[in-house]
Amino acid sequence: MADFLLELRCEEIPANALPGARRQLVAAMTKLLESSGFTEAETRVYSTSRRLAMLIADLPLQQEDRVEEMMGPPVSVAFDADGNPTRAAEGFARKTGLKLEEISRVETDRGEYLAATVRHAGRRTAEILAEAIPTIFSGLRFPKMMRWGEGEFVFVRPVHGLVALLDGEILPLELFGIRAGRTTIGHRVHSPVPFEIETAADYEKSMEDHSVLVDPLRRREILDAQASTLASEAHCRVHEDPGLVSEHVELVEYPGLILGSIREEYLELPPEVVVSTLRHHQKCLILENEDEELRPHFLAVIDRKDDPEGLIRIGNEWVIGARLADARFFFEEDRRKGMEAFLPGLEKVEWHRVLGSLEDKAERIENLSHFISKTLGLEISAAEIGRSARLVKADLLSNMVGEFPELQGIMGGHYLRLEGAGEALWTAVRDHYRPVGFEGAIPVSDLGKLLGLADRIDSICGLFAVGEKPTGSRDPLGLRRAAQAVVKILAEAGWSIDLDSLLRRSLEAFERFSENESPFEAIHNFFGDRVRRLLTDFENVSGDTAEAVMAAGWTNLPECCSRARTLEEIRREENFRQLALAFKRVANITEGREGADKVEPALFEHASEKEIYDSIRAFRESLAELLPQHRIREAFEAMLPISDKLENFFVEVLVMADDQAVRANRIALLKDLGREFLALADLSRLQIEGS
């Protein structure tokens, strides 16, 4: 048994590329080891900002010989009437590598066949690795790739070194034009001199001796401990930010943190400005007090053990201070002008090369908002909608958002609040970009929800109309997230409005761009995919429950979610299971068959037919009372009494009667029942055990 080490050393790898590279390497090596019969071997993948490495422990030096029993063609096909071998026999011999006289014959249930026992000699592990490793590494995929030198090689970054050791021996292989050896380099500051790895098993300790921690989990543990210690020294706590810590882990070879300070006066800025400067622009951890208020300190990551002269801390404080000084200047300038001053500029800013300016978009948002508000009966005045539809985009022209684009909406909300605007308006402007997809809270005020819906629906319909819809995994304009947000807002706000009516109303503004074919159906299906995910991933219903409910209609989101949650609960009850099985039978019988235009009770021949007929009428009356009151659970429960009557019906009645009129009447009766049930769900789509 042996250990195998491979380390590929290159220029700085982007932090977001490393987790995916590790996953790809584990998957590829696992597949290689399993296919080679090395099932006991264990693979560990390491990485830092400057290297990718893997260590395979308990690796046999030689494959075991493998015996394969191979079946060939029938003897009647392998030999002609004179007993001479045919091309089929010769081909089988070539395939096995044996002579014809070494191939035996076996009796099977299908007759006599040629057969052979073939022994495959195991290959040397070194040969297998040397052959497979270049293919595996050249097959890794990254968000962005590079060419270097003469452009012959493609990888995430130019490669400068390669170590490949099988135990203590160098494995003869070449990767990206570099021959493998045992020489590597330690940390660029603490140990920049080349050194040799003696054996594969020594790798992790040897790298640590040269100030490189190749295990990302070790680096994370150290960063977490340092952050806690430094925050305590400043009498603060770290604002939890696992995403940023994960990025820090990938940025360094030896993890370190420094405690820096900012001037207290900068905390007078809106907290989002300070956070954006520290986190998004400088990748610093935020420190806060027990009340979650910002403190004038930060933690910055460094790729070294310490900062003995404090120069890195000073540099970070200087850069952050300069950015915050700029932010304060922009903030004061924007406040001096006021939000109204930005409105005339909306018509000068292009929102989309075909769909017009920000002023054009604001006008469409206003019109759609009026429609939604009127349909729902919201107590929001037309004047309020008209003014807010423009103010939601006004801060895009501010100095602050020009410098910090991620603060769009947020800064507009702050400016309006400081100007004394009503809470409904400033929170609407602040929140109308929220949520981002399914993540986060929906806007607080009805005005914010209204503007958020109108803005996103306008974007989706407009861009679909001009042919800029998402394709495959590409969605550069974020339309999938926009649709997710629309679905989430409608569902959580409890707004019972038909989504299709909103789409049609919005598309009226884009008719001139889609004269040949309306994109309505494509947009409808696009939203349907988002609704299905909302139900399965966030309402926690099974896939077949979602399909059953959506088949009965899904464009009223609050009702659709309520029906899905209720069906997921009630389907576990035994009496409902029997009903679902019976309904599947109804669907199977009526599918593709024409029934009478109207059910005629005079054609009933059995009491059970009359019972079903009366049950349908009773169920219809129950739905008419329960659904307007949103009593969904009771509506589903109103189905249950029909279960036993359906069982009796199928026992007593032959639906496909010889008499054509009677048959058509019975099919019509079952179709009526199906139509009534479809007000809630298509039970035939449920996967019921025993169906």
Q: 279-298, pLDDT tens digit by residue?
A: 988 999 999 999 999 999 99
Would you state the structure tokens that stand for residue 69, as one six-digit string?
Answer: 């029993």
Res. 458 pLDDT band, cuts 50 70 90: very high
**Residue 555 domain flag:** no
Q: Which token pair is 654?
A: 């032959």
Instruction: Say yes or no: 603 and 526 in one domain.
Output: no
Provide the token pair at 201: 């098993």
Contact 204, 215 (CB under 8 A): yes
- pLDDT digits 0-9 by tens, 435-451: 999 999 999 999 999 99
534 and 576 belong to one structural domain: no
Q: Please tell me whether residues 106 and 181 are part of one structural domain.
A: no
Within-domain flag for 552? no
Mean pLDDT of 674-683: 88
131-167: pLDDT as tens digits? 999 999 999 999 899 998 888 889 999 999 999 999 8
Same domain flag for 39 and 137 = yes
* Same domain, yes or no: 501 and 357: yes
Does residue 454 sit in the same domain as residue 412?
Answer: yes
Give the end of a domain, one of 508, 538, 568. 538
Looking at every residue in the chain, the average pLDDT score rounds to 92
Is pLDDT larger for residue 536 or for residue 652? 536
Peptide bond into 270 cis (omega under 30): no
Residue 193 lies in a domain: yes
Confidence class for position 35, pLDDT limits 50, 70, 90: confident
- With respect to residue 521, please indicate whether it lies within any of the assigned structural domains: yes
- 551 lies in some domain: no
- Give yes or no for residue 690 having a pLDDT over 60: no
- 149 within a domain of the structure (yes/no): yes
Q: Mutual orientation of helices 520-533 and 446-465 as an angle, nearest 10°?
A: 130
* Domain count for the chain: 5
**Do the strands 42-48 and 153-155 form a parallel or antiparallel pair, or are they unpaired?**
unpaired
List the single range of 74-88, 378-392, 432-446 with lowest mean pLDDT.
74-88
DSSP 8-class letter at 277: I
pLDDT for 684: 86
Within a domain: 546? no
pLDDT value at 596 more than 80: no
Enclosing domain of residue 28: 2-62+124-209
545 pLDDT exceeds 70? Answer: yes
Q: Of the residues 335, 366, 381, which one is the last residue of a structural domain?
A: 335
Q: Is residue 545 part of a domain?
A: no
Confidence class of residue 574 from pLDDT cuts 50, 70 and 90? confident
183 touches 160 (CB < 8 A): no
Same domain, 95 and 180: no
478 and 390 in one domain?
yes
105 and 130 share a domain? Answer: no
Do 160 and 308 lie in one domain? The reply is no
Is 109 or 553 the better-scoring residue by pLDDT?
553
CA dihedral 240, 241, 242, 243 (to 10 degrees): 170
pLDDT (tens digit, 9 = 90+) per residue, 606-651?
888 899 899 989 999 999 999 888 899 999 988 888 888 888 888 8
Q: Which string of b and e fits 27-54 if b means at least 16 CB within 10 Å? A: ebbeebbeebebeebebbbbbbbbbbbb
Cβ proximity of 434 and 440 under 8 Å: yes
Decide which of 335, 358, 377 is a domain's last residue: 335
Same domain, 566 and 495: no
Q: pLDDT band at residue 98, thresholds of 50, 70 and 90?
A: confident
**pLDDT over threshold 90, residue 525:** yes
CA distances from 591 to 583, 597, 648, 667 (A): 12, 16, 21, 10
Give me the CATH number covering residue 624: 1.10.730
* pLDDT above 90 for 24: yes
Number of continuous H segments (helices) and E segments (strands) in the chain: 25, 20
pLDDT value for 100: 85
The reported pLDDT for the residue numbered 307 is: 92
Q: Does 251 share its domain with 399?
A: no
**Higher-pLDDT residue of 589, 141:** 141
Confidence of residue 515 (pLDDT cuts 50, 70, 90): low
- What pLDDT was estimated at residue 592? 79
Residue 508: which CATH number?
1.10.3210
